Amino acid sequence: MRIATVTRKTKETEISVTVNLDGSGTYNVSTGIGFLDHMLEQLSRHSLMDITLTAKGDLHIDAHHTTEDSGIALGQAVAEALGERRGIQRYGHAYIPMDETLTRVSIDISGRPYLIWKVQFTQPKLGDMDSELFREWFQAFAFQAGATVHVENLYGINNHHIVESCFKGLARALRDALAIDPRKADDIPSTKGSLKG
């Protein structure tokens, strides 16, 4: 089973996360940031990763540290659960429509972290969360998971739809990229023989 637990404790946050890459999309998420919880629940449900994540952070300051550190911890847990990354499909992509919105997400579980983020918002906040923090979460996750992630909102008006389509796109792309290829289940999908960067 590809399961991992990561605990991260700093002066700013305390986070515990467990992932099961071969789950059924069950979740138990509590960050203290309602909108972020909603997005992480979407990520779990549509990737079929089981995610248990609890975070306590310095929300009396703002949501930045809790958002970024939850991305760091979740990315670390995914990387740990992947191990040598043997047998994975490695690549995944998704186009996610939500009413008037369409977003494209592509991922390579390459061991080489990178984020392209082509998403703009017309509201400074969604719920109590600053809109600029969504990029921070995606960057933290990508860099710790060892993944190249491209996120592009092709069009959209409603900011909630735009953000949610980004997380659902990541989920569906991850679902494909993390899947085991039965024809190459024991092989590392790289001519280098390693996906550790």
- Contacts (Cβ under 8 Å, ≥6 apart) of 122: 159
* pLDDT value, residue 191: 54
Cβ atoms of 108 and 90 closer than 8 Å: yes
Could you report how far apart the first and last alpha carbons of the chain are, in Å?
A: 23
3-state secondary structure the chain: CCEEEEEEECCCEEEEEEEECCCCCCEEEECCCHHHHHHHHHHHHHHCCEEEEEEEECCCCCCHHHHHHHHHHHHHHHHHHHCCCCCECCEEEEEEEECCEEEEEEEECCCCCEEEEECCCCCCEECCEECCHHHHHHHHHHHHHCCEEEEEEEECCCHHHHHHHHHHHHHHHHHHHHCECHHHCCCCCCCCCCCCC
* pLDDT value, residue 48: 98
Q: Using 50, 70 and 90 to split pLDDT, how confident is the model at 192?
A: low
* pLDDT value, residue 6: 98
Q: Using 50, 70 and 90 to split pLDDT, how confident is the model at 196?
A: low
Alpha-carbon distances of 184 from 98, 102, 104, rounded to whole Å: 35, 33, 27
Q: Using 50, 70 and 90 to split pLDDT, how confident is the model at 197?
A: low
Mean of the per-residue pLDDT values of the chain: 94
Which domains occur in the chain, in start order? 3-184 (3.30.230.40)
What tens digit of pLDDT does each residue of 104-147 get? 999 999 899 999 999 999 999 998 899 999 999 999 999 999 99
* pLDDT value, residue 127: 87
Residue matched to tokens 């953000």: 163
